[in-house]
Amino acid sequence: MSTTEVVVTGIGATTPLGGDVPSTWDGMIAGRSGITANADWAVQHDLPSRLVAPLAVEPSEVLPRVLLRKMDRCEQVALIAARQAWADAGFPRPSDEHHPVDPDRLGVVIGSGMGGPVSLLAQYDLLRQGGARKVSPLAVPMLMPNGPAAYVGIELRARAGVHSPASACASGAESLAHAWRMIRSGVADVVVAGGAEACIAPLTVAGFAQMRTLSQRNDDPDRASRPFDVDRDGFVIGEGAGVLVLESAEHARARGAAVYGRLAGAGITSDGYHITGLRPDGAGQVNAMRTAIRSAGLVPSDIGHVNAHATSTVVGDISEAASIRAAVGDHPVLTAPKGSLGHLVGGAGSVEGIITLLSVYHGVVPATRNLDNQDPRVELDVATGEPRKIRLDAAMTDSFGFGGHNVALVFTAA
């Protein structure tokens, strides 16, 4: 693979903390929570967990009605974040007369852990109630996991490849890693990449609850998600999307683009161990981190900050902490955004990638919300209380998913 530098020229997001990147970042710095208790259908279905992290801004406030009617919510949030990122990169929307990028050198990689389960469930209800004629002819495009990537690719007329990794909670980060590879290998000059998820529904919440992965702190939603805390009892399911515009440094320079930083390295591994369980020795996680650092041309001591996957589960947080110590050491400052955002599943890795990038860009590590009593087995420096001001030349973000998917990304200053 070449030594082509990959830079970030645009970022976009819609999350439980805000409808764009500035409001999401401000929410992280201020230590706000996007988590609430959904008492209505949770009580109706007797769910042990009534906690969710819904979007702060509804897609209906952003997209026209015609798109809302034909797109699944996951596709909607992906398109919203992609439009923001594209505009932030300084690109006008493609027109019949002009395209700001050679379409044959433009790619899209947007992953989703679940695709469109909300649309699938709604269409199944219509089928049961009124027969096949009640089912929308757009049912399949709404539920297919490649829908978010496809809609963005069509809008931007991308022809270098449109891809949609489905790697559970690692999908968003894996999308960025694949986009990085596309540019480094010379397949594309520009790739719009990220992850999206919108799967808050009784069935998905019930399924996660049956696995005993969700917090049941129903009476105190603001304090429910507690990464690395001794009182953590599971994660809170959220929704949202994060999208980045990645470019070769040469392409960005040629058009005079502003640059946030570099996506300098990426590592993807798999455990080959269990569909939901963690490999006991953590080797897959460690190898993903080491690969990301090595591919960035760095050594572990160069990594000043780690944005941890840390979902707030009893076992997962400890395993990740041990992996970070093994791969990087105990010197980096950590943060865990899911205390504020909840767990955005397929959108988590890309939204947290943006947060990591901004930590390097601004020299600030957001504090981990609700970390009142750090588990003594987490032998790492986790930012708590107030944001940590620190000079950062390089930072890493981790993402892990059911099925044994492990992804690590390294961002460096421009």
Both tokens assigned to 113: 């852990």
Tell me if residue 309 is catalytic.
Answer: yes
Sheet holding 261-270, edge to edge: 162-163, 106-111, 190-197, 240-248, 6-14, 261-270, 405-412, 394-401, 305-307, 333-335, 381-382
pLDDT at 333 over 90: yes
pLDDT at 149 over 60: yes
Overall average pLDDT of the 41-69 stretch:
96
With 90 as the cut, is the pLDDT of residue 40 above it?
no
Catalytic residue among 169, 178, 199, 405: 169
SS3 18: strand
- Residue 169 among the catalytic residues: yes
Q: How many C-beta atoms lie closer than 10 Å to residue 17's C-beta?
A: 26
343 part of the active site: yes
Residue 406 bridge partners (DSSP): 269, 400
Distance CA 214, CA 30 (A): 25
Strands 388-389 and 364-365 turn out to be: antiparallel
The overall average pLDDT reported for the chain is 97
pLDDT band at 45 (very low <50, low <70, confident <90, very high): very high
Mean of pLDDT values over 308-317: 97
Tell me, what's the pLDDT at 64? Answer: 97
Per-residue confidence (pLDDT) for residue 256, from 0 to 100: 98
Instruction: Report the candidate in 195, 263, 196, 261 with the shortest Cα–Cα distance to residue 409.
Output: 263
Quick one: pLDDT at residue 97?
A: 84
Catalytic residue, candidates 163, 251, 305, 343? 343
Please count the helices (runs of H) and the strands (runs of E) in the chain.
14, 16
pLDDT band for 300, please (50, 70, 90 cuts). very high
pLDDT band with cut points at 50, 70 and 90 for residue 143: very high
Question: For residue 107, what pLDDT is reported?
Answer: 98
Distance CA 314, CA 329 (A): 22
* pLDDT, position 305: 98
What mean pLDDT do residues 88-108 have? 95
State how far the Cα of 394 lies from the Cα of 319, in Å rounded to an integer. 23
The whole model's pTM is what? 0.98
**236-256 average pLDDT score:** 98
The candidate with the shortest Cα–Cα distance to 410, out of 267, 268, 287, is: 267
Contact 244, 354 (CB under 8 A): yes
Residue 39 has pLDDT above 80, yes or no: no
Contacts of 356 (CB under 8 A, 6+ apart): 305, 307, 395, 396, 397, 409, 411
| pLDDT greater than 60 at residue 1 | no
What is the predicted pLDDT for the residue at 381?
98
Span 299-327, average pLDDT: 98
Handedness of CA 64, 65, 66, 69 (dihedral sign): positive
Mean pLDDT of 80-106: 95
What mean pLDDT is predicted for residues 211-225?
Answer: 97
Tens-digit pLDDT profile for residues 230-244? 999 999 999 999 999
Which of 163, 251, 305, 309 is flagged as catalytic? 309
pLDDT of res. 258: 98
